[in-house]
């Protein structure tokens, strides 16, 4: 067995395995775009007697977390040919990906799971959910009295949209810091998609829609509104499509409450699990993490991570007034998980810490679930210091 990055000649095989595993077909143009977005140094595969057996891709990305930018490795395209499945190949690839991401300074990773249980084994945990609405035009108000400003259709102006998006993304945990290349490849890839921007009374951009109308259905792929006036005026704009659509499908942020603003709020809505995340390098991650206040005393974390030995042991975290976060790491002694007494500090695994630091589950919730142990005052101190941000993600990879 050989585990390495693929060559230029092997890239078509790399794509073919994904087409088979995920049951889709790529056109020549799709393949060209995939190659353009995929550096070969990020395409990893396991070979059996020279034949590609399993593979994955690591997207070098950045995310917003607590208003700060963090380097992130986006795992995608994890697949094997059927004759090579259940042989430990994916386990080897996932472990290798952690080493690669750590070396690349990507202290956190994200992926879209085909099975949550499968990736939990490797330390990834749920951090994001997705909300979808299906609305009839008549369920919106005919006119929104306090709609101020205007919505105008524009060309696919990436710079203009990214300025609005970036202000929005910083409010959430785990949204991508998009590059121009990603905008073109993943967001505005369909030239027939309609883009509309909301401008306030002073002409400032405060929201946008990316949508399409097909077969009497309006599908809104992205809805970004920076204030309530933007939201109301954009709802009015959507309502104005009533003569040409029977249904409106909308993908809002998970904490949005559009139904409250509707004439008839009895709409169809669905919430489902979406993305998983994983802290790759806990020490590096915590040193950059945007804690909200100082710690009254050092926080001791006893951490278990079977797939990343550099995350195992005891971490002592200090946050003083006007100082950066300082972290001391004490690897476990031979035959033990930690060097320090377990009755001091909190104890958990990497999955638990990840979902907690993304604010998908709170420390108190995790303690009640038996996922996190420690004294109540230490758990309370940790909860008070986490950013109050909702985890949300528009993108897919």
Tell me the whole-structure pTM to 2 decimals: 0.93
81 & 63 share domain: yes
Q: How far apart are CA 370 and CA 334, in angstroms?
A: 26
Contact 393, 175 (CB under 8 A): yes
Count helices and strands in the chain by DSSP H and E runs: 11, 21
H helix or E strand, kind and range, residue 132: strand 129-135
pLDDT at 117: 97
Residue of higher predicted confidence among 274 and 144:
274
286 & 267 share domain: no
230 & 177 share domain: yes
Looking at residue 179, what DSSP letter applies?
A: -
Cα distances from 393 to residues 151, 171, 197, 220, in angstroms, run: 24, 11, 20, 15
The arithmetic mean of pLDDT across residues 129-153, rounded, is 93
Q: Using one digit for the tens of pLDDT, what is the confidence trace for 291-338?
A: 987 788 899 999 999 999 999 999 999 987 777 899 999 999 765 555
Task: Phi first, then psi: give them for residue 55, nearest 5 degrees.
Answer: -160, 165
Expressed as residue numbers, the domain containing 335 is 281-349+370-386
Domain count, the chain: 3
151 has a pLDDT exceeding 70: yes
pLDDT at 333: 79
What CATH code is carried by the domain that includes residue 333?
Answer: 3.30.1050.10
pLDDT at 339: 53
The arithmetic mean of pLDDT across residues 38-51, rounded, is 96
9: burial class by Cβ within 10 Å (0-12, 13-18, 19+)? exposed
Chosen domain end from 273, 294, 323:
273
Q: How far apart are CA 194 and CA 208, in angstroms?
A: 10
pLDDT at 335: 56
pLDDT at 18: 96
Residues 6+ apart with CB under 8 A from 386: 291, 292, 356, 357, 359, 362, 363
Q: What is the radius of gyration, based on Cα positions, of the chain?
A: 23
Task: Look over the chain and give the mean of its residue pLDDT values, rounded to a whole number.
Answer: 94
The arithmetic mean of pLDDT across residues 161-175, rounded, is 97
Residues in the chain: 397
Q: How far apart are CA 344 and CA 203, in angstroms?
A: 56
Does residue 157 lie in a domain region?
Answer: yes
261 & 170 share domain: yes
Residue of higher predicted confidence among 123 and 142:
123
Chosen domain end from 253, 273, 293:
273
33 has a pLDDT exceeding 90: yes
Q: Using one digit for the tens of pLDDT, what is the confidence trace for 203-253?
A: 999 999 999 999 999 999 999 999 999 999 999 999 999 999 999 999 999
265 & 382 share domain: no
Q: Using one digit for the tens of pLDDT, what is the confidence trace for 247-297?
A: 999 999 999 989 999 999 999 999 999 999 999 999 999 999 999 877 888
pLDDT at 106: 98
Q: How far apart are CA 101 and CA 73, in angstroms?
A: 6
54 & 172 share domain: no
């Amino acid at each position: 067995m050989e585990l390495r990055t693929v060559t230029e000649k092997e890239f078509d095989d790399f794509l073919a395995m994904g087409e088979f595993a995920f049951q889709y077909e790529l056109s020549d143009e799709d393949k060209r775009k995939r190659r353009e977005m995929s550096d070969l140094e990020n395409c990893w595969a396991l070979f059996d007697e020279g034949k590609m057996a399993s593979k994955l891709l690591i997207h070098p990305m950045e995310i917003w977390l607590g208003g700060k930018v963090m380097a992130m490795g986006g795992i995608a395209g994890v697949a094997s040919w059927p004759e090579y499945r259940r042989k430990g190949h994916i386990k080897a690839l996932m472990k290798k990906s952690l080493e690669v991401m750590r070396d690349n300074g990507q202290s956190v990773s994200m992926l879209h799971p085909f099975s949550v249980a499968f990736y939990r084994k490797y330390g990834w945990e749920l951090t994001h959910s997705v909300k979808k609405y299906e609305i009839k035009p008549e369920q919106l108000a005919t006119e929104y009295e306090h709609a101020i400003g205007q919505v105008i259709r524009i060309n696919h102006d990436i710079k203009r949209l990214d300025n609005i998006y970036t202000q929005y993304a910083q409010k959430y945990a785990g949204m991508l810091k998009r590059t121009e290349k990603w905008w073109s490849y993943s967001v505005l890839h369909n030239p027939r998609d309609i883009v509309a921007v909301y401008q306030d009374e002073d002409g400032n951009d405060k929201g946008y829609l990316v949508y399409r109308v097909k077969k009497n259905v309006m599908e809104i792929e992205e809805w970004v509104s920076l204030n309530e006036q933007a939201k109301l005026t954009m709802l009015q704009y959507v309502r104005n499509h009533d003569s040409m659509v029977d249904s409106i499908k909308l993908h809002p942020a998970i904490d949005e409450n559009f139904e409250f603003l509707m004439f008839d709020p009895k709409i169809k809505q669905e919430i489902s699990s979406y993305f998983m995340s994983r802290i790759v390098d806990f020490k590096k991650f915590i040193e950059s993490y945007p804690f909200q206040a100082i710690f009254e005393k050092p926080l001791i974390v006893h951490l278990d991570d079977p797939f990343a030995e550099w995350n195992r042991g005891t971490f002592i975290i200090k946050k003083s007034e006007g100082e950066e976060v300082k972290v001391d790491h004490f690897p476990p002694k031979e035959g033990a998980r930690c060097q320090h007494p377990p009755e001091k500090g909190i104890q958990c695994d990497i999955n638990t810490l990840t979902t907690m630091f993304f604010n998908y589950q709170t420390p108190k919730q995790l303690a009640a679930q038996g996922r996190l142990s420690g004294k109540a005052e230490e758990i309370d101190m940790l909860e008070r210091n986490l950013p109050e941000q909702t985890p949300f993600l528009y993108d897919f990879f």
